[in-house]
Amino acid sequence: MSVLDRFIRYAKIHTQSDRETGLTPSTPGQLEFAYLLSEEMTGIGMQEVSVDDNGYVMGFLPSNAGKEAPSIGFIAHVDTSPDMSGKNVRPRVIEKYRGEEIVLNKEKGYVLSPVIFPELSRYIGSDLVVADGNTLLGADDKAGIAEILEAMEYLTRHPEIKHGRIAVCFTPDEEIGEGPDHFDVKRFGATFAYTLDGGELGELEYENFNAAAVKLTFRGRNFHPGYAKNKMVNSLKVAHEFLGSLPKREAPELTSGYEGFFHPFSIKGGVEETVLELFIRDFDKERFEWRKGVIENGVREFSKKYELPVQIEMRDQYYNMKEKLEPLHYILDIVKQAMVEVGVKPLIVPIRGGTNGSRLSFMGLPTPNIGNGGHNSHGRYEYIPVSSMEKVVALIARVCELCVTLK
């Protein structure tokens, strides 16, 4: 089975996670996929393969190095984003892409255009995998899973390639921030690990946002609209006014690089009550705390202004893993060396989002991220070059081999 065959098979499985169920895994398709993966892992010769009650798949490739070598790990997630449908995904391969517009869905007018996505020009002559425009593709992170398992099978077929103990884990619910919630770091037993997650070929990431989630409940006073003058307080309008009070240019659509933002992603309600949900993101810890203060000060101001309490629930989600990984630069140097040796240009970039590796690094398992080769994740325009997946497979195998030289 090739990495492309694996990926297409996986992409068709409905594993979209759900923030609302309160379960782990949050959706049944993730558990079904976990059992399928456990069968494949056993079939390629991995040992101690298991699926726990929370849907975590774990298995190990024993060392064949004949000498002491660090145990390393590779991690990917089985779920796809709740932001776009992951049901009835229909992947197709565009062979030897020629630089043209790719019509994803003629009826609905969905087109993957090199004008809007100029990076497509880098893949002229390559095979690309896309969906039909009605769903995401799921390369985030089923490409990562396919690449890890293809690399593990390659290593079992080539015992002349020496490696230490390799731990593999596929987690549920990464896309809703719960991937590491039940991760058994002790059983995993790795000295360090790598996530294989969204990001173009060559990306190596050891910095990510500090992140918080905010839920604000605005109260109102309802009266008959014909007699509401000086009496009604419309909570919907108050919530929108609150949004308007936030720094206007500090939004996802207006920021890049190391710039942080406030991101409202849900608003529901009526005159009496409106619930507004936001994400806070920033690389800098002091700026992150400032952003939380902006929200808290706004809550006090609006509660006083309308003489109705605004309820706030705010929780930190994860922190910038840079502080845990920067002192362990050899973990990154190994990957950079492997990239050069397999013909990939290293691209050190910050993650403008979250990753299982962030929380795992704070749980005692240093875990930077390697890009799995995908583009435009979480939406209908997602695609992945087949050549990128093949390069990542070679990269994983070379990382495993190079780690034997570590002391």
* Residues assigned a catalytic role: 79, 174
The pair of structure tokens assigned to 248 is 């206007």
Contact 167, 193 (CB under 8 A): yes
The pair of structure tokens assigned to 126 is 């390559």
Q: From 226, 239, 244, 303, select the one nearest 277 (Cα to Cα).
A: 239
The pair of structure tokens assigned to 13 is 């499985």
25 upstream amide cis, omega within 30 of 0: yes
The pair of structure tokens assigned to 370 is 């390697």
3-state SS, residue 372: coil
| Rounded Cα–Cα distance for residues 193 and 148 (Å) | 12
Which is it for strands 347-348 and 203-205: parallel, antiparallel or unpaired?
Answer: parallel
Cross-strand bridge partners of residue 370: 196, 204
Contact 6, 148 (CB under 8 A): no
CA 336 to each of CA 95, 109, 343, 346, 349: distance values in angstroms, whole numbers, following the listed order: 30, 41, 11, 6, 13
